[in-house]
Structure 1
Amino acid sequence: MNKIFNYGIDHLTVNIALDIARGKVKAVLNKTAKEKVVKSQAYVQEIVDRGDVVYGINTGFGPLCTTKISEKDTSTLQHKILQSHSVGVGEVIPKEVSKIMLITKVHALAQGFSGISLTTLERIIWHVDKDIVPTVPKQGSVGASGDLAPLSHLFLPLIGLGEVYTEDGSKAIASDVLSRLGMKSLQLGPKEGLALINGTQFILAHAVKVVEKLANALDTADVIGAMSLEGLMGSSRPFEPELHAIRPYKGSLLVASRLRNMLAGSEILASHVDCDRVQDPYSLRCMPQVHGASRNAWLHLKELVEIELNSVTDNPIILNADNAISGGNFHGQPLAIPLDYAGVAAAELGNIADRRNYMMIEGRFGLPKLLMANVGLNSGFMIPQYTSAALVTENKTLCFPASADSVPTSLGQEDHVSMGSISGRKTLQIIKNLEQIQAVELLYAAQALDFRRPLKSSPIIEATHAYVRERVSHADEDRVLAYDIKAMHDIVSSGALVKIANEVAEKEQLDLNGEFKAEFEY
């Protein structure tokens, strides 16, 4: 591990956040960051010593903001806020998502506007480095005033409460684990509890995962879409650069270029270049427009997530001892809307994939009905499309934008909330469903391509097809296709298909991502 990331100083990206969470990058507090943190805490202490009334330092929270708290109770106040706000319900989120929450919170706090103590910040970093990650229930946040409930659970172990994932991934009582490792609970100082639980890190951690997983789904959609096109003997003419130059959306230009490169050198395409088929159905010829629109949505989300990764989102913001601003940087709306947008984008990838699935079993374009030579006694590949259809509809039901809703909380003090935590959770579920839909399309596309032999496709499609066939054989009669779908899902979700396509492209000196490579990386 050679790379070092400086919390509060360096520019955090999705990839770096993931690398820190996975132990590939070491993240530290350097001298400059420590000085900023110490100075910010000193500002808070000066406010307390002077007796100035500042929200959350020496007042109650939410609708209790006018209730003054005595100087001797300012520390107790911070302890109680973690307890009272730990009201999450439901299953706990995955360990990695919790860990990303820790990492992004440290980076925000280390910028020196939150009044956190160096001791507290270093304890959070200890949790990251030791992989002792607090458990966080998935439900209970309205996405403003920040992700209060999830962040409260995330930081309960600081005061000896809550549960944690241990090094081996099992769950345990936090106090037992801390005792085993010789660590004592902390006494929080003025404003520290509020600084810990006020922020968007639950939404942000989910958004980080959405950026990663949707990027793989987008690349996968192009590879499988190209294989499906070959199986259906479609045309590559709709991907020509001149067509897209006169409607130059970045996503469309990129997908058209990728499809041209992935199909380059195909014997199958060459075999029917002069056929009498005037034009292909939309799910084939409109891949640049549909896949591309989803890429535009991903690009928008990625850009906003990167801003959020390097932002300070708690409240109040401590600029100096004479300037503490109660604002709204904790409000999750800037991520809630693009997360909902990304959910629609992911659902549409599944929608068009299911249309190609249906087309491949119809018995059109020289393919046998239900993708099997002998059907009747055999049902062939009839039923996997039921699965993809069910998942497509499930995704449609998940596409209602959570960000379009708001329910007043905190006795009306917090009268508009983002619901961005729901946006993040359901968008990840949409992507999980999408991966299953893509697994079905990959199963169908590989079977369809088999019927075009002895003609060969392009080097990229041949390599990805061969990889599939190493794991799942061609089906001549009925079998339990759930096992085949599972194998395809493993290929899709692991990113293996995209990796092979990229490796072959490099070997063949084909530039899949062209001029947009840097923009569409994270």
Structure 2
Amino acid sequence: MEKIYHISPNPLSFEIIETILNENYQLAISEEATALILKCKKYLDDKVAKEDGPVYGINTGFGALHNISISKDDLSKLQENLVMSHACGIGREVPRDVVKLMLMLKIHALSLGNSGVQLKTVQRLCDFFNNGVYPIVFEQGSLGASGDLAPLAHLFLPLLGHGEVHYKGEKMLASDMLKENGWEPIKLEAKEGLALLNGTQFMSSHGVYTLLKAFRLSKYADIIAATSLDAFDGRIEPFFPQLHTVRPHKGQIETARNVKAILEGSEIITREKKHVQDPYSFRCVPQVHGAIKDAINYVAGVVLTEINSVTDNPMVFPDDDMIVSGGNFHGEPLALAMDFLSIAMSEIGSISERRTYRLISGERGLPEFLVANPGLNSGFMIPQYSAASIVSLNKQMATPSSVDSIPSSNEQEDHVSMGGNAATKALKISDNVERVLAIELFNAAQAMEFRKPAKTSPYLENFLSQYREFVDFINEDKIMYKEIEKSVEFLQTGTFDEFSS
């Protein structure tokens, strides 16, 4: 039976979005949203018919051309020209899952009834979403100021029969896709092109996509850190709750509780230790992972507010008889938040790589480079190099984008957020962190084999047995990049049991 989610003024959540994506829901416009769209459109049409003076973006040019009036006969052409002229994105193609999110978030924003678009325009976007039509959008080109102008122009070119799309596994002209489906190009009306192009859906879609990954990687980071801790013969005392109740950061308390629960029942963690302290990369997991959790949750709050907002311009308020030109398209909230997310995710990788390094260093009864016959075998020497290289790259990319601004549009847009760059970097960093955590798991699982016959916790015994279905124990040197790829695949496709804490 077909699953349908009805777009309405009710707020979206990460859980709803993940369900729609994972379970292939179709989108439909609810009766309430339909009424809001029609009401706003009628008000705007009546206003245009009666209004003699300039109204920005409706009967004027755009940006620095805002003082040029446009005749009523040219209002539709004005909007079409806007979409075509702003499609100046370049670089790599945006991942299709992100494009799908862009469609969903724009449909939701337009359905809140403040944008003045035609109902059939929103319905056609639903058609794209439901039929697997993915407009080709490019990564570079947004200043995150008047929203995401260039990426959104590429997203909506196919409405007009222009541009290219991925459809049914092929890359094709949008005009051919429309013909195949029996769809006529949309003829944009007053303000409509501006409603489509103004908005933060490029930034916020990257934000949602990266956060869904971050939520998962944050959980994996605790599990993998606990595996490394036990394989390193670490101490459990730094995870005792008493330590964290006197410094009660929420994420810190949660992380300590998680690791303690994951290691419950481990023979290794409870045996007598000769060493009285562990290195910071083990001992300070609650403090570091916890701060990262708090950062992720803060960013999630910002992004959640954004995806349930109207961010085009001008804004139409039928009940107040107002059309207001403002700045809701400015990406500063997202730019700052995505920079923060980049920094936080980079730190997951940074501390993970340090634990990997300690596991191969020949300490605490573990063989150097985690092979039984080092020298003849290089073992796990070079995976740590790879992790270190990635971590260093992440540090460079985590430099904030939001502190930069380049004026545009003849100084009319004299402060921009650079939120598009912040958002795309955050996704790249999160992808990199996934690889670093995979390398740590690769090492930690190998190290754990050298602790046998002593056992780790039942939770980790089960977790590692699942991992061993992807990656075998390394007896002697082999081609390692394939094993790292399998480790990444495990993190992407494997399932982990929730740990009760």
Q: Distance in 1 between matches of 2:89 and 2:312?
A: 19
**What is the aligned partner in structure 2 of residue 49 from structure 1?**
49
2:332 maps to amino acid: Q
Describe the SS at the equivalent of 1:501: coil
1:265 maps to amino acid: G
**What is the aligned partner in structure 2 of residue 77 from structure 1?**
78
Is the Cα–Cα contact under 8 Å of residues 166 and 172 in structure 1 kept in the other structure? yes
Is the Cα–Cα contact under 8 Å of residues 463 and 500 in structure 1 kept in the other structure? no
**What is the aligned partner in structure 1 of residue 496 from structure 2?**
500
1:76 maps to amino acid: K
2:462 counterpart of 1:463 = yes
Q: Distance in 1 between matches of 2:114 and 2:283?
A: 52
**What is the aligned partner in structure 1 of residue 200 from structure 2?**
200
**What is the aligned partner in structure 2 of residue 316 from structure 1?**
314
Q: Kindly tell me: are residues 342 and 63 of structure 1, through their superposed partners in 2, closer, same or farther at Cα, counting changes over 3 Å? A: same
Describe the SS at the equivalent of 1:35: helix
2:138 counterpart of 1:142 = no
1:348 maps to amino acid: E
1:153 maps to amino acid: H
Is the Cα–Cα contact under 8 Å of residues 144 and 330 in structure 1 kept in the other structure? yes
TM-score scaled by length of structure 1: 0.93
1:59 maps to amino acid: T
> 1:136-285 maps to which residues of 2 (within 5 A)?
136-168=137-169, 170-272=170-272, 275-285=273-283
Q: Kindly tell me: are residues 137 and 63 of structure 1, through their superposed partners in 2, closer, same or farther at Cα, counting changes over 3 Å? A: same
> 1:68-107 maps to which residues of 2 (within 5 A)?
68-107=69-108
Count of residue pairs the alignment pairs up: 499
**What is the aligned partner in structure 2 of residue 291 from structure 1?**
289
- Higher alpha-carbon deviation: 234-243 or 460-469: 460-469
Is the Cα–Cα contact under 8 Å of residues 470 and 490 in structure 2 kept in the other structure? no
1:103 maps to amino acid: M
Is the Cα–Cα contact under 8 Å of residues 339 and 423 in structure 1 kept in the other structure? yes
Is the Cα–Cα contact under 8 Å of residues 145 and 417 in structure 2 kept in the other structure? yes
Is the Cα–Cα contact under 8 Å of residues 346 and 394 in structure 2 kept in the other structure? yes
Is the Cα–Cα contact under 8 Å of residues 360 and 444 in structure 1 kept in the other structure? yes
Structure 1 residues 429-475: Cα deviation after superposition (integer angstroms, max 9, x where no partner): 11111111111111110111011110111011111111222322222
Describe the SS at the equivalent of 1:413: coil
Is the Cα–Cα contact under 8 Å of residues 27 and 129 in structure 2 kept in the other structure? no
Describe the SS at the equivalent of 2:469: helix
Describe the SS at the equivalent of 2:497: helix
CA-CA distance at 1:22 after TM superposition: 4.4
Structure 1 residues 103-147: Cα deviation after superposition (integer angstroms, max 9, x where no partner): 100100111100001111111111111111211011100001000
- Superposed CA RMSD in Å reads 1.3
**What is the aligned partner in structure 2 of residue 337 from structure 1?**
336
Q: Distance in 1 between matches of 2:443 and 2:309?
A: 45
Q: Distance in 1 between matches of 2:482 and 2:58?
A: 57
- Higher alpha-carbon deviation: 342-351 or 29-38: 29-38
Describe the SS at the equivalent of 1:84: helix
1:97 maps to amino acid: V
**What is the aligned partner in structure 1 of residue 15 from structure 2?**
15
Q: Distance in 1 between matches of 2:131 and 2:4?
A: 16
Describe the SS at the equivalent of 1:114: coil
Q: Distance in 2 between matches of 1:311 and 1:300?
A: 17
CA-CA distance at 1:318 after TM superposition: 0.5
**What is the aligned partner in structure 1 of residue 59 from structure 2?**
58
Q: Distance in 1 between matches of 2:2 and 2:172?
A: 32
Describe the SS at the equivalent of 1:402: coil
CA-CA distance at 1:11 after TM superposition: 1.5
Q: Distance in 2 between matches of 1:371 and 1:128?
A: 49
**What is the aligned partner in structure 2 of residue 424 from structure 1?**
423
Is the Cα–Cα contact under 8 Å of residues 463 and 501 in structure 1 kept in the other structure? no
Describe the SS at the equivalent of 1:403: coil
CA-CA distance at 1:8 after TM superposition: 3.4
**What is the aligned partner in structure 2 of residue 363 from structure 1?**
362
Unmatched 5+ stretches in structure 1: 506-510, 513-522
Q: Distance in 2 between matches of 1:501 and 1:366?
A: 30
Structure 1 residues 74-107: Cα deviation after superposition (integer angstroms, max 9, x where no partner): 1110110001101111121111111110110010
Is the Cα–Cα contact under 8 Å of residues 383 and 439 in structure 2 kept in the other structure? yes
CA-CA distance at 1:4 after TM superposition: 4.5
CA-CA distance at 1:31 after TM superposition: 1.8
Structure 1 residues 352-380: Cα deviation after superposition (integer angstroms, max 9, x where no partner): 01111110111111111111121111112
2:311 maps to amino acid: T
CA-CA distance at 1:395 after TM superposition: 0.4
> 1:388-403 maps to which residues of 2 (within 5 A)?
388-403=387-402
Is the Cα–Cα contact under 8 Å of residues 232 and 359 in structure 2 kept in the other structure? yes
Q: Distance in 2 between matches of 1:325 and 1:388?
A: 50
Structure 1 residues 331-364: Cα deviation after superposition (integer angstroms, max 9, x where no partner): 1111111111111111111110111111011111
Q: Distance in 1 between matches of 2:378 and 2:102?
A: 47
Q: Kindly tell me: are residues 362 and 23 of structure 1, through their superposed partners in 2, closer, same or farther at Cα, counting changes over 3 Å? A: closer
Q: Kindly tell me: are residues 52 and 121 of structure 1, through their superposed partners in 2, closer, same or farther at Cα, counting changes over 3 Å? A: farther
Is the Cα–Cα contact under 8 Å of residues 234 and 280 in structure 1 kept in the other structure? yes
**What is the aligned partner in structure 2 of residue 404 from structure 1?**
403
Q: Distance in 2 between matches of 1:202 and 1:33?
A: 22
Describe the SS at the equivalent of 2:381: coil
Structure 1 residues 275-329: Cα deviation after superposition (integer angstroms, max 9, x where no partner): 2311110000100111111111110111111111110000000012831111111
Is the Cα–Cα contact under 8 Å of residues 436 and 489 in structure 1 kept in the other structure? yes
Q: Distance in 2 between matches of 1:62 and 1:208?
A: 29
1:389 maps to amino acid: A
CA-CA distance at 1:3 after TM superposition: 5.7
1:226 maps to amino acid: A
2:263 maps to amino acid: L
TM-score scaled by length of structure 2: 0.97
Describe the SS at the equivalent of 1:91: strand
Is the Cα–Cα contact under 8 Å of residues 26 and 129 in structure 2 kept in the other structure? no
- Higher alpha-carbon deviation: 42-51 or 137-146: 42-51
> 1:112-127 maps to which residues of 2 (within 5 A)?
112-127=113-128
Describe the SS at the equivalent of 2:433: helix
Is the Cα–Cα contact under 8 Å of residues 146 and 314 in structure 1 kept in the other structure? yes
Is the Cα–Cα contact under 8 Å of residues 18 and 100 in structure 1 kept in the other structure? no
What is the percentage of aligned positions where both structures have the same residue?
Answer: 43
Describe the SS at the equivalent of 2:235: coil
CA-CA distance at 1:486 after TM superposition: 1.0
Q: Kindly tell me: are residues 359 and 474 of structure 1, through their superposed partners in 2, closer, same or farther at Cα, counting changes over 3 Å? A: same
1:305 maps to amino acid: V
Is the Cα–Cα contact under 8 Å of residues 316 and 323 in structure 2 kept in the other structure? yes
CA-CA distance at 1:155 after TM superposition: 0.5
CA-CA distance at 1:18 after TM superposition: 3.4
2:54 maps to amino acid: V
Structure 1 residues 368-406: Cα deviation after superposition (integer angstroms, max 9, x where no partner): 111112111111211111000100101011011111111
**What is the aligned partner in structure 2 of residue 132 from structure 1?**
133
1:191 maps to amino acid: K
